[in-house]
Amino acid sequence: MRTAIYVIFWAIATAVVVALITLPISLQAHLIAGTIVVGAMILLKFLRPYGVWRLIALGLGTAMVLRYVYWRTTSTLPPINQLEDFIPGLILYLAELYNIGMLFLSLFVVAMPLPRRKTAPPIAADAPTVDVFVPSYNEEPELLATTLSAALAMDYPAGRLTVYLLDDGGTDEKCNADNFVAASAAQERRAALQKLCDGLGCTYLTRERNISAKAGNLNNGLANSSGDLVVVFDADHAPARNFLTETIGYFGEDPKLFLVQTPHFFINPDPLERNLKTFKAMPSENEMFYGIIQRGLDKWNASFFCGSAAVLRRTALQTTNGFSGRSITEDAETAVTLHATGWNSVYVDKPLIAGLQPATFASFIGQRSRWAQGMMQILIYHRPMLKSGLSLPQRLCYSSSALFWLFPFVRLTFLVAPLCYLFFGLEIFTASGAEFIAYVFSYMAVNLMMQNYLYGRYRWPWISELYEFIQSVYLLPAVISVLINPGKPTFKVTAKSEELGTRRISELGLPFFIIFAVLALGVVATYWRIITQPYNADTTLVVGLWNILNLLMAGCALGVVSERPEGRGARRFPVRRRGQISIDGRTAPIVTENVSVDGVAIRVLSKDFDKLPVNSTGEIAFETSIAMPAGTLPVRVVRLAPDAKGLVLGCRYEPSEPLHSRIIADLAFSDAGIWSSFQKARRQNMGVIYGTLRFLRLAIFQTSRGLSYFFGLARLSRSNPGRRAAE
Amino acid sequence: MRTRLLHIVAAAAVVPIGSLNFGLQAQEAQPTPPREPAPFMIAPPSQQPPAARPAEPTPQAGPAPTPAALAIPASFAFKPLLPAARVMLEGENDTRSWAFYLTQDEAGADLNLDIAFQNALVVMPEASRLTVRINGERIMEAPIASSDRLKRTSTTIRKGLLRPGQNTIRFEAVQRHRTDCTVASTYELWTRIDGAGTRLSFKNPAQQSRLRSIDDLPAVGADESGQTTIQIVAPGATRAVAANSILAVAQGVALRGRYSQAAVRVSERLPERIRPGVLTVLLGTAKEVRELLGTLPSEAGSGSFLGFIANSRLGPATLLVTGESWPDIEATVAKFLTGPVSRPTNTNRKTMDTSSWHIPDAPFISDRQMLRFSELGVSTQESSGRRMRVRAVIAMPGDFYANAYGEATLYLDGAYSEEVLPGASRVEIFVNGNVAATVPLNAANGGLFQQSPIPIPLRHFRPGINEIWFEAVTQARSDLACGPGATLPGKNRFALFDTTTLAIPDFAKIGVSPNLAAAAGTGFPYSIAAHVGLLMGRQDLPNLGAAATLLARLAQRADRPLPIDILGSAATVGDRPALIVGAAGQLPAGLLPRVGIADNVRNTWPQRADAVVVLPETEGAAVFDAVINRFQGRQTTPEDSGGGTPTTEAIRDRWRGSLGGPLARYFISFDRWLQRTFDLSFAQLRAPTRAPTLYEPAEGAELIAAQATDPDTRQVWTAFVVRQEETLEKAMDRLVTPGNWAGMAGKLTAFRNGQDNHVISADSTTFVMTRAFSLANMRLVFANWMSSNIGIYALTLLGACIGLGIGTFLMLGRLGRRS
């Protein structure tokens, strides 16, 4: 009853706002009202940007955006009989409408995201049996060993957890391939992994033929296992010990629950983060999704399966014959299918796995192409807006997730639009200077502020645009091809543990330099137009400003495609464990300082090791957090760093048997809390103005770096010996 | 470039209303020619061929008129043609056309067309021509080469060209500057057609004859100043019972005569003399008429009569209205005079009559409408000049309420040649003399407009007649060099096609009071009232004449005679809108405060020793061209205007800009930027003052028009208060001249001698529903109201958004999963 009253109240408020907004008031009235509304938004942001105030601020923003839409629709389109203006004008208009539509969809999704669940429900006494699937295609055994070890180390009642390695790189098909070299590699791989699994105590599974890619592989796992619940970890996603205790309990609460999804937490930077050096300070790209959007989806029971770090219910999967393999994003497709048949999902906002993400720009683009194409396939095959069985909020949520991937069209339209005027003099946006100031500026200010309200702590200003821009160039053809031929794209595994040894420009970098050059010509054209047509200066200035904004974005992209060298620079986290080290028969007590998946920094509590040569090898033993066979971990000392309190050794693991992997996993993945605190340190809202200034600085610096790479200046500094040593 | 900027600055500085003149300074911006000789000259029938005609006509006795039933005075040998004392043709191309009316006898007579004109010194005679057309046929074409004195020409009009009833006359001027190629120089080009010398002259005055039927009323015409005097001779005028008939007759005659300016005089005795442009109306019972004339005219027969009579003493235009008793007369007037033109109040007219000064008639726009230029009398035309101007006239209803938000669209069909220099060239739209839209012509190689939309804010539109000027300012490279002969007509620069369309959107319609502009424009709200109360300062002849003059004007604007109830006191007004006419001293105590004027004005104002300004009688009529003059005055650069007095606003602005500390100056310059860019000022945010202050007339005020909603009856009261009893009729005559009449606006307008009108806009208004309730209309009304009460709009929007935020918060708290 009260819900009905609130809905009616909301509907009336909406009707009043819409009625006020669609009043054809004068420009002056809009300017004043707009200034007051924007001022109120700014004021609210300083005072209390939470709870009801946040929604009031969003309401104010919505009003301004709607006024912009109203004005844009009623008075800015070029006359239809001037086709050369009208067609590009209409395209730009549609692009803007798409953007605004997406803004409203995301407003719906994240208007009031579900807060993080404080404590997980307890697991019932008769805990359900759990099968862990680690699908693999071409990952190295060392990587798999870590992941499998971490999976085995998860807290769960004994005997109720089985870990499966689902190997698609050693299928019968591969082992019997016509290519002799490939076939023998596959056979070797199968043997090595079988040995690894035997050593660790997990089950190796492979299949006859590589059909339906990852979905087929998982379904093969389903067919050869019987646990109540299924956990999926990508080969490079190592879980923390508490993964199951944080997730399994939900299945006891809701018999119709098919999915508990947890965030993907990455311990290495993506190419943008690495090349722009923002990894330590700036929230990762996916944090906006896992930090807020999934929580928003969760409110509407629409959080979806992301392929890994999730628990699924076998009975649910059985109703749909396992994982759906029609699209190349089997995860979201499975989720939408199950949501449509009445199953529920839960999202746990706590990083419980640590994974790797693509290191190079090329593999980053490859991954994003797969996501974009898969989501387009879902859009085409499943039509989430019309899919029966989904609730209205779920339809909106899935539409929002799928339609998002149309952004390349829009981003490139915005890139080209100002050039239409600067190069060809097309007038595709008819507005006087005064109108432009009154409407466009207020709209842009409101747009930035609304984004900041929605995602402030999770996304810095302009970074979304930058991410979209760097993907658009390559995603546009990918999206177009799938729209033309939805069945064409095939699953490609994303490479993740690549190394970058030298400075170079990504093999996909050239288009960005061309775009930059064209936009720079646009600046020249702006100047030329202002000089030769002083009477058009106001229009030219406004359009030129827009072009310069694009140029800044393109300059930043130059930095992104200019790859910095970095070793397997996995993130180190502070871990304190006691243990002892023995080198050449000498032993000393140690405390670990920090830990990564590659190595460990240890403080030696003895004076004996001061003159230890670099590259000497030794063995370390630690206290472990779970019961496992006692053993030592072989390491190689790569760095000596004496400090005031003693000596710190930088060591690299040299694992040679499964037990070593389990020790590393216990060291590096036992505590998920450190990941949370790492994320938290980056999550701070810097505000629109400071964020914009910071972006400006970044853009200018990255432009020069990208250009210096391009013109080969990088080679001069590469011989710097100090740097080499640091690598 | 500099001059262009100056023009823009000048254009921006113009005050939208109130710069019309009440008095003699209308022509100040131009060299004033020596005053013409008395208008009532005894001129000869032209025996000489026109070419040989001397410039100054010599008074000469004509041949003795053939004995006829009627002895026509010699002054009737001419029929003035102009709707005002003078008509200006300005710029490189200008055209004016209007209608004049002839009786059957006049149309059949042998006629000459006399034209008198003078032009600016800078007009190049070789390239400048004046063409006159009657009913479309070219009658006369002459070089414009008479800058030193009035040039007179005369042409015989072909027999059969003129028809009984409506005829049109059209003046077309092509003018080029002698030396200057700038756009600014085109404002120096003018040719003035003189009202006294431009007329139809009868070769044989005896040929013409009197008016015969009521439909001949328009043929009375006007005098040399464009004014038509309705001389009502009513022996019983001072009796209360006669007043109704007098007012009804005045309205009916003015309405059916379609005069551009009608002045009504009421007298008890016959006039001393008669002259053209005077209609004498004998009004009285049969007995009174018999006493007046000695005998009852034969046409009157025995009973009631309304019609023209032949009377040698009274001239050719004498209307007799008589009956056995006053009720009998009233019935006769209603049946024959006012009845046929009494439009029901619930029907909209299609056009508004402007034929006396502009044809075609202005279309009356009561709803969404597309008007092609061809319908507005603008033909397809090409221009080789620097500034091409065309005029269109449209009319808005009295409940027009869209000036704060509305936007019309001009779908322009036109083209400009590659000669046109980008940057310096533009198309401008003026509405009632204010710049409403500017479109730069910026393509380097010429351009084509195909139904290209130009938004025109409705800000400067008003109820009633609106003038829209389309102006194409084109500058060519050759203008910059300006070699010899460069001003001569060359290649065409701009073409305007008559398929250009003015689209008026559906606009908000609701009556607003007080709003003098609506009363002036369409007589609203009196135009839709079932009864109108009239309070006069005193029941005497001048008051009757003044009231009748006012009512005649209102009836013309309302396009229907107003049903008048003459009231003895304000207490009896009751449930009807009221008009108040009188001199300040005559009005009863307590009446003026009800329309917002201080009560002590009754005593202090008439006594005030204001500077005496002599007002030549005919000068008021010159304000016919006031809109153009205003336009011209604005366009004139300060150097050109010979240091004319700057407006109060300009001086205030100058002072404001030069005072204050650096911060204040910064603030002021920001305010100015806002003003320039958005037509916006911080002053607009100020809350309207609610405390009503009663008006006390400023220095020089001669007539105050004030309107208010009476708090008791919620009816509109409008008062027209003249300073002194002696000038009551004259002041009212001047008020109803087109220029002054159009200057009424706001809740109070004070007309001052030699200065701008003082307009006080309404601080609080009430709405009057004029149409059936419709949501769409109310939305537009809201839009307009919100646009003029911006602060309230902003607060409402803010409040609604806060409501939306709270609603969303509450709703989301209940929907979906809860935390």
Beta strands at A265-266 and A353-355: parallel, antiparallel or unpaired: parallel
| A644 secondary structure, DSSP code | T
Residues whose CB falls within 8 Å of the CB of residue B491, separated by 6 or more in sequence, listed in order: B384, B417, B419
Structure tokens at A23: 């009043």
Q: Scanning the structure block, which residue is given the tokens 């008020």?
A: B735
Rg (CA), chain B: 28
Chain B residues near residue A14 by CB distance under 8 angstroms = 804, 807
Give the model's pLDDT for residue B309.
84
User: Residue A639 pLDDT more than 60?
Assistant: yes
Describe the crossing of helices A51-75 and A83-110 by its angle, rounded to 10 degrees.
170
Complex prediction ipTM: 0.89
* Contact assessment for residue B228 and residue B263, using Cβ atoms and an 8 Å cutoff: yes
Cα angle: B299, vertex B305, B309; to 5 degrees: 40
pLDDT tier at B649, thresholds 50, 70, 90: low
Hey, are the CB atoms on B680 and A19 less than 8 Å from each other? no
Q: What is the mean pLDDT of chain A?
A: 89
Our answer to whether residue A608 is catalytic in this structure is no
- Establish whether the linkage from the previous residue to A358 is cis, with ω within 30° of 0: no
Q: What tens digit of pLDDT does each residue of B388-436 get?
A: 999 999 999 989 998 888 889 999 999 999 989 888 899 999 998 888 8
Hey, are the CB atoms on B814 and A6 less than 8 Å from each other? yes
Beta strands at B86-90 and A130-136: parallel, antiparallel or unpaired: unpaired
Using CA atoms, how far residue A14 sits from A10, A11, A517, B770, B804, in Å, is 6, 5, 46, 31, 6
Q: What tens digit of pLDDT does each residue of B539-548 get?
A: 888 899 999 9
In chain B, which among 463-502 make CB contacts under 8 A with chain A? none
Cα angle: B203, vertex B204, B207; to 5 degrees: 125
- Rounded to the nearest 10 degrees, how much is the dihedral formed by the CA atoms of A77, A78, A80, A85? -130
Structure tokens at B609: 């020793």
Q: Scanning the structure block, which residue is given the tokens 């003099």?
A: A425
Q: What tens digit of pLDDT does each residue of B514-554 get?
A: 889 999 999 988 988 889 999 988 888 889 999 999 999 99
DSSP-derived 3-state class of residue A54: helix
Q: What tens digit of pLDDT does each residue of B434-460 get?
A: 888 888 888 888 888 888 888 898 988
Interface test with B, best of A17, A22, A23 (most B CBs within 10 A): A23
pLDDT tier at B209, thresholds 50, 70, 90: low
Greater pLDDT, A38 or B756: A38
- Establish whether the linkage from the previous residue to B360 is cis, with ω within 30° of 0: yes
Q: Scanning the structure block, which residue is given the tokens 């002459």?
A: B142
* CA distance from start to end of chain A: 66
Alpha-carbon span A395 to B647, nearest angstrom: 65
Our answer to whether residue A126 is catalytic in this structure is no
Give the model's pLDDT for residue A375.
94
Residues whose CB falls within 8 Å of the CB of residue B485, separated by 6 or more in sequence, listed in order: none
Chain A residues near residue B424 by CB distance under 8 angstroms = 535
Hey, are the CB atoms on A60 and B680 less than 8 Å from each other? no
Comparing C-alpha atoms, which of B130, B7, B1 is closest to residue B471? B7
Comparing C-alpha atoms, which of B109, B149, B112 is closest to residue B134? B112
CB atoms within 10 A of CB A58: 25
Residue of B nearest to A34 (CA): B794
Structure tokens at B178: 């002698």
Alpha-carbon span B357 to B156, nearest angstrom: 24
Of A131, A236, A298, A331, the catalytic one is A331
In this complex, the residue of B442, B451, B801 whose CB is nearest that of residue A79 is B451
- By CB neighbour count within 10 A (0-12 exposed, 13-18 middle, 19+ buried), where does A531 fall? exposed
Give the model's pLDDT for residue A567.
55
Of A85, A131, A168, A298, the catalytic one is A168
Give the model's pLDDT for residue B44.
34
Hey, are the CB atoms on B800 and A20 less than 8 Å from each other? yes
pLDDT tier at B673, thresholds 50, 70, 90: confident
Q: What is the DSSP string of A373-392?
A: HHHHHHHHHH-TTT-TTS-H
Structure tokens at A241: 């010990």
Bridge partners of residue B532, in order along the sequence = B564
| B128 secondary structure, DSSP code | -
* Contact assessment for residue B227 and residue B739, using Cβ atoms and an 8 Å cutoff: no
State how far residue B786 is from chain A, nearest Cα, in angstroms: 7
B327 inside 8 A of chain A by CB = no
Using CA atoms, how far residue B703 sits from B581, B619, B698, B699, in Å, is 11, 17, 11, 11
In this complex, the residue of A3, A31, A533 whose CB is nearest that of residue B814 is A3
φ, ψ for residue B681, nearest 5 deg: -145, 155
Hey, are the CB atoms on A52 and B677 less than 8 Å from each other? no
User: Residue A72 pLDDT more than 90?
Assistant: yes
pLDDT tier at B731, thresholds 50, 70, 90: confident
Comparing A403-412, A605-614, B468-477, which segment has the lowest mean pLDDT? Answer: A605-614
Alpha-carbon span A52 to A709, nearest angstrom: 49
Q: Scanning the structure block, which residue is given the tokens 């009623």?
A: A74
Alpha-carbon span B314 to B275, nearest angstrom: 10
Give the model's pLDDT for residue B497.
95
A346 inside 8 A of chain B by CB = no
φ, ψ for residue B280, nearest 5 deg: -95, 130
Hey, are the CB atoms on B803 and A16 less than 8 Å from each other? yes
pLDDT tier at B608, thresholds 50, 70, 90: confident
Write down how long chain B is.
819
Interface test with A, best of B501, B788, B797, B806 (most A CBs within 10 A): B797
| B756 secondary structure, DSSP code | B
Q: Looking at this protein, which amino acid is placed at residue B297?
A: P
* Contact assessment for residue B52 and residue B790, using Cβ atoms and an 8 Å cutoff: no
Alpha-carbon span B479 to B177, nearest angstrom: 12
User: Residue B4 pLDDT more than 50?
Assistant: no
Residues whose CB falls within 8 Å of the CB of residue A36, separated by 6 or more in sequence, listed in order: B794, B795, B797, B798
Cα angle: A677, vertex A683, A686; to 5 degrees: 150
Comparing C-alpha atoms, which of B513, B529, B567 is closest to residue B247? B567
CB contacts < 8 A, A to B, total 177
Exposure on the CB side of residue B177, measured as CA atoms within 13 A: 21
Structure tokens at B718: 């409008």
Give the model's pLDDT for residue B609.
63
H/E stretch holding B174 reads: strand B165-174
Q: Which stretches of A586-687 are DSSP H helices?
A: 658-669, 673-682
Structure tokens at B721: 């208060």
In this complex, the residue of A29, A75, A114 whose CB is nearest that of residue B790 is A29
* Contact assessment for residue A198 and residue A157, using Cβ atoms and an 8 Å cutoff: no
In chain B, which among 760-789 make CB contacts under 8 A with chain A? 779-780, 782-783, 786-787
Alpha-carbon span A425 to A427, nearest angstrom: 6
Give the model's pLDDT for residue B632.
38
Give the model's pLDDT for residue B681.
62
Residue of A nearest to B813 (CA): A112
CB atoms within 10 A of CB B483: 8
Q: Scanning the structure block, which residue is given the tokens 């070593």?
A: A660
Using CA atoms, how far residue A310 sits from A292, A410, B520, B598, B731, in Å, is 17, 33, 79, 84, 93
* Contact assessment for residue A674 and residue A573, using Cβ atoms and an 8 Å cutoff: yes
* CA distance from start to end of chain B: 68
* Contact assessment for residue A258 and residue A322, using Cβ atoms and an 8 Å cutoff: no
Comparing C-alpha atoms, which of A259, A209, A221, A263 is closest to residue A133? A221
Alpha-carbon span B356 to B84, nearest angstrom: 10
Alpha-carbon span A22 to A6, nearest angstrom: 24
User: Residue A94 pLDDT more than 90?
Assistant: yes
Give the model's pLDDT for residue A682.
87
H/E stretch holding B547 reads: helix B541-558
* Contact assessment for residue A324 and residue A330, using Cβ atoms and an 8 Å cutoff: yes
Give the model's pLDDT for residue A570.
66
Q: What tens digit of pLDDT does each residue of A419-470 get?
A: 999 999 888 888 877 788 889 888 999 999 999 888 888 999 999 999 999 9
Give the model's pLDDT for residue B47.
36
